[in-house]
């Protein structure tokens, strides 16, 4: 692996800034100062220090992000702030959100660089559950509940797969689906004569949104959470 790529993955610095720092003598490999950003290193065996701090390479990283409204689920955007912009010191070039939430939707997003896991979680064949807290414009009744549980017509080739619905209040439900069609939750509620006014994802597979994690904040997944994702969501 190139030295500048290694540092880019291990720090929050940009590739251009890291190249300048390498050329300025601020990086050592196995005790020797290296001035060439393109030099190849062994990320598993070499000891690399940047500005006096040892850099340890992690091939894959996993973060829980509490997405706020007004941020887009993308790696970059010319006009909008993205979820990757929220990653602060943990930002690295290869991070991406697993799936997407609408700009005005809040809640759980998994941020990683593990493409294989992302495929497993997003593959339609896997039927990974996504649970949402839905605040509605109108009162929610038993007829609407039954329709959602049976599948509704949202203009696709077939009805939506049966949903799991729990009524939380007169105008609030918890809705669990196993598909990921465009604006699906909003379209499903519209199909039964209601309207979503606030939407928050609270679970994806076994991964629950941490109730103590503020909006716009992130943290690494715990070992228990990782175990749940890799063992139960495949």
Instruction: Look at residues 17, 61, 115 and name the one whose alpha carbon lies nearest to residue 27.
Output: 17
In the set 46, 85, 102, 141, the catalytic residue is 102
Half-sphere exposure of 34 (CA within 13 A, CB side): 22
What is the chain's alpha carbon radius of gyration, rounded to the nearest angstrom? 22
Instruction: Answer yes or no: 102 catalytic.
Output: yes
Tell me the C-alpha distance between 140 and 192, whole Å. Answer: 10
8 A C-beta contact, residue 98 and residue 133: no
Structure-block tokens of residue 58 = 């992690």
Tell me the C-alpha distance between 168 and 75, whole Å. Answer: 34
Structure-block tokens of residue 101 = 């939430």
* β pairing state of 172-177 and 164-169: antiparallel
Give helix then strand counts, H and E, for the chain. Answer: 6, 13
Structure-block tokens of residue 141 = 């009744």
Give catalytic residue positions.
Answer: 102
């Amino acid at each position: 692996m190139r030295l500048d790529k290694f540092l880019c993955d291990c720090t929050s610095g940009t590739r251009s800034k890291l190249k300048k720092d390498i050329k300025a003598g601020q990086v050592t490999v196995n005790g020797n100062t290296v001035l060439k950003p393109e030099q190849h290193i062994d990320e598993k065996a070499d000891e690399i220090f940047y500005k006096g701090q040892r850099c340890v390479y992690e091939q894959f990283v996993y973060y829980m992000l509490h997405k706020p409204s007004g941020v887009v689920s993308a790696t970059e955007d010319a006009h909008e702030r993205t979820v990757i912009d929220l990653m602060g010191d943990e930002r690295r070039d290869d991070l991406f959100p697993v799936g997407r939430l609408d700009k005005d939707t809040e809640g759980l997003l998994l941020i990683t660089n593990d493409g294989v896991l992302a495929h497993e979680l997003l593959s339609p064949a896997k039927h990974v559950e996504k649970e949402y807290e839905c605040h509605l414009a109108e009162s929610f009744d038993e007829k609407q509940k039954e329709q959602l549980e049976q599948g509704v017509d949202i203009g696709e080739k077939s009805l939506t797969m049966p949903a799991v619905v729990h009524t939380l209040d007169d105008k609030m439900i918890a809705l669990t689906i196993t598909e990921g069609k465009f604006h699906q939750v909003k379209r499903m509620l519209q199909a039964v004569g209601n309207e979503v006014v606030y939407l928050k994802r609270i679970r994806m597979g076994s991964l629950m949104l941490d109730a103590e994690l503020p909006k716009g904040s992130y943290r690494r997944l715990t070992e228990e959470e990782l175990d749940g994702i890799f063992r139960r969501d495949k």
